[in-house]
Structure 1
Amino acid sequence: MELAKVRWGMIGCGDVTEVKSGPAFQKAANSELVAVMRRTGKLAEDYAKRHLVRKWYDGADALINDPEVDAIYIATPPSSHKEYTIKAAKAGKPVYVEKPMALDFAECNEMIATCKAAGVPLYVAYYRRAQPKFIKIKELLESKEIGEVRFVSTTHYQKAAEDLRNSQSPPWRIQPELSGGGLFFDLGCHTLDILDFILGPIKDVQGFASNQAGYYRAEDIVTGTYQFESGVHGVGSWCFSAYEDVDINEIIGSTGKIIFSTFGQSPVLLTTERGTEKWDFPALQHVHQPLVERIVADLTMGFSQVPSTGVTGARTTWVMDQLVKSFRS
């Protein structure tokens, strides 16, 4: 599928679309955001006017079937990702869907199968895969800067936000029927996906999940171990009711180590017998833009360089499913 220009339709106009993603569709070459949809029409109209988008809708079907829309960006909670992906695919339109890809691995597989049958590409918004920081880490590993990789360790914990503490109207991110789980699904997925990107697929997983603080129904702590297809081992801990905020990943090799954060602006550190080197990466204004640019290039020029697809996104969902399996049951 090769288009002269990709005209995007966006389903969902929430916070993530204001700066992180929405403007990227306007700023990428050969790309334009031509229509937006939100169930509350006035909010869709407001978004369209503020972002200079020509059309707005209060129904997804109308946007998907608009002949001036070439591709669909789905920016809703995961509970509707499968529905909208399948509708877009059956309309013959490529799909770029937010993360996590769906409520569970089974839904991911349905989305992949439908897009394959329709002959349309399926991309997932694990945008870090296209950012310079994580590409650099991948390059360091591929050039054997730390020798043979032995294991990776993730430690991610943070304070419980006030709006999550026994709220009568909890945000969708901690409602499992809308998000798939708690903040682990919203945040932990980014780290697990980056580990898949830089170290390859995970093949075996063991995990525990619990609700320790009792502020909401979903899990608020997850710990796990995993083994990658390459033989690398991994261990991770995510806690969302701790006393401070910490975000650190360590990749240990036979001749050195790499330390980096998933979300923070701390430098990437490489330590070997030569000493410690560091690389700083400025914050991106529109974090989706590097990945959107690759997707547009794929759709307009046939480049096959999009690092985040339905297949890779589904792998991350599968890992999360295994880590919280005991809590769900």
Structure 2
Amino acid sequence: MIEKIRWGILGCAAIAEKAFIPALKKSKRAELLAIASRDWSKARAWADKFGIKKAYGSYDELLADPEIETVYNPLPNHLHHPLTMAALRAGKHVLCEKPLGLTAAEVKEMFTEAERQKCLVMEGFMYRFHPRLARALELLRDGLIGEPRLVRSTFAFIFDRDRGNYRWSPEMGGGALYDVGCYTINAARLVFKTEPEKISATAHLDEQTGIDLTSSLLCTFPGDRQALLTCSFELEFQSSLEIAGSLGRIVLDRAFSAKHFETEIQITRGQKTELIKFPPADQFLLMIEHFGEAIQGRTRPLLDFQDSYGNALAIEEALRQIRAK
């Protein structure tokens, strides 16, 4: 019999409702035991809706529950660090939505606390668990397109101007770079297996709030390899990753948002294009299963300290340049 990990969720976030809870309910390795909200009636309503045993009217109450082993933190970005720290200090493992922290210092503090508490913390980049990405990385390792020299990646969508949403608040970690640009940075670092030596960033800022509506980054990696990255709240939907090498290129459409879709890897070498097709995959379910296995000591977390720390450093540098202009 598979031992199930007992989970609690902090907050009633849209991503939890639409993606995380449905995935967790399908998992054979997880049990959703509790949900907490500062509004107890909302937590109770969600508990009734999703068949969750316990509803709490504060985050502290959930973190004090000895039955809960693992916490999912999908709260607004500025609450990732303080609530993840609180969960770790309570002896809970934490799967936290991206970005794990608003600064590299926050990321380092969380991993340091996790080590102190003998707990795991992992940043929730669900796209990293899709079988298509694993296959694409395997093709790169096999040298199918030669040496990767250039990454182009865009994550963009038109976001309604809901001023009540934290994504429009600079104090709450809003802006396109924190929200979706983090994916493109993570993908480029994953492909090149190292950190950028130089970042040049520019952005179109919202006149009222100051958040970045569209940001573009040119990242230079060792060996003069380059990544051209774009993220936006004001452009037509795009979620793409292109890797160009000395012998060809690999293209992933819907690179970061493929849950409900059949997907493919497009490989172009010379005049020949090949497609490798993949059935729909629930990236959140795969992430939940993986984190459970890591907690039980059967594997190492796919996303580790360097993954999250390097991403935070790159975002910090890009925002420093954007805000200085």
Output the TM-score relative to the length of structure 1: 0.89
The one of 271, 283, 295 equivalent to 1:287 is: 283
Instruction: Spell out the pairing of 1:47-62 with structure 2 (5 A cutoff).
Output: 47-62=46-61
Matching residue of 2:312:
317
1:78-121 per-position Cα deviation (integer Å, ceiling 9, x unaligned): 21111111112112221111111112222111111111122211
8 A contact 1:267–1:278 mirrored in 2: yes
| Cα deviation 1:179-222 (Å, max 9, x = unaligned) | 2x402211111222233333323232322233356364201222
- Whether the aligned pair in 1 keeps the contact of 2:249 and 2:267 (CA below 8 Å) is yes
Q: Describe how 1:62-101 pairs up with structure 2 within 5 A.
A: 62-101=61-100
CA contact (8 A) 1:126 1:313 kept: no
The equivalent of 1:201 in structure 2 is 194
Moved segments of 4+, more than 6 Å: none
Alignment of 1:117-156 (within 5 A): 117-156=116-155
Deviations, residues 255-283 of structure 1 (Å, cap 9, x unaligned): 11011132365632111147111123344
2:236 is the counterpart of 1:237: no
Aligned counterpart, 2:292: 296
Q: Give the Å deviation of 1:157.
A: 4.4
Q: AA paired with 1:193?
A: N
Q: Unaligned 5+ residue runs, structure 2?
A: none
Amino acid at match of 2:193: G
CA contact (8 A) 2:198 2:221 kept: no
Match of 1:271 among 268, 271, 274: 268
Higher relative contact order (CA 8 A, sep 6+): 1
Counterpart in the other structure of 1:259: 251
How far apart are the structure 1 equivalents of 2:90 and 2:223?
Answer: 39
8 A contact 1:200–1:230 mirrored in 2 = no
Checking the alignment, whether the CA contact within 8 Å between 2:36 and 2:57 is kept in structure 1 is: yes
**Where in structure 1 are there 5+ consecutive unaligned residues?**
none
Query: Secondary structure of the residue that 2:197 maps to in structure 1?
Result: strand
Structure that is richer in strand per residue:
2
- What are the residue-to-residue correspondences of 1:202-221 with 2, within 5 Å? 202-212=195-205, 214=207, 216-221=209-214
State the distance in 1 between where 2:71 and 2:238 align.
Answer: 35
One-letter code aligned to 1:279: I
Q: CA 1:195–1:303 in 2, change beyond 3 Å: closer, same or farther? A: farther
Q: Secondary structure at the match of 1:307?
A: coil
SS at match of 1:210: strand
SS in 2 for 1:138: helix
Aligned equivalents of 1:189, 1:61: Cα separation in 2: 29
User: Within the alignment, does 1:306 sit opposite 2:305 as a pair?
Assistant: no
> C-alpha displacement at 1:136, in angstroms?
1.5
Provide the rounded CA distance (Å) in 2 between the counterparts of 1:152 and 1:196: 10
Normalised by the length of structure 2, the TM-score is 0.90
Match of 2:165 in 1: 171
The one-letter code of the counterpart of 2:128 is R
Superposed displacement of residue 229, structure 1 = 5.0
Distance 1:213 1:69 in 2: 41
In the alignment, the residues of structure 2 paired with residue 231 and residue 140 of structure 1 have an alpha-carbon distance, to the nearest angstrom, of: 22
Note closer, same or farther for the CA distance 1:309–1:20 as it changes in structure 2 (3 Å cut): farther
What amino acid does structure 1 have at the position aligned with 2:295?
Answer: L
Aligned-residue Cα RMSD (Å) equals 2.2
Q: Please give the secondary structure, in 2, of the residue aligned with 1:220.
A: strand
Summarize the Cα distance change of 1:31–1:231 in structure 2 as closer, same or farther, 3 Å threshold.
Answer: farther
Residue of structure 1 in register with 2:13 after alignment: 14
2: CA distance, partners of 1:212 / 1:94? 36
The AA in structure 2 aligned to 1:81 is H
Counterpart-to-counterpart distance in 2, 1:13 and 1:238: 26
Q: Any conservation in 2 of the 1:200–1:228 contact (CA below 8 Å)?
A: no
Letter in 2 for 1:278: L
Q: 1:54 to 1:188 in 2, by over 3 A?
A: same
Superposed counterparts of 1:26-45, under 5 Å: 26-45=25-44
Percent of paired sites with the same residue: 25
The amino acid across from 1:245 in the alignment is: F
How far 1:318 moved relative to its partner?
1.5
- The Cα shift of 1:28 comes to 1.8
- Preserved contact between residue 184 and residue 230 of structure 2 (Cα < 8 Å): no
Amino acid of the structure 1 residue aligned with 2:273: T
Decide which moves more: 289-298 or 309-318: 309-318
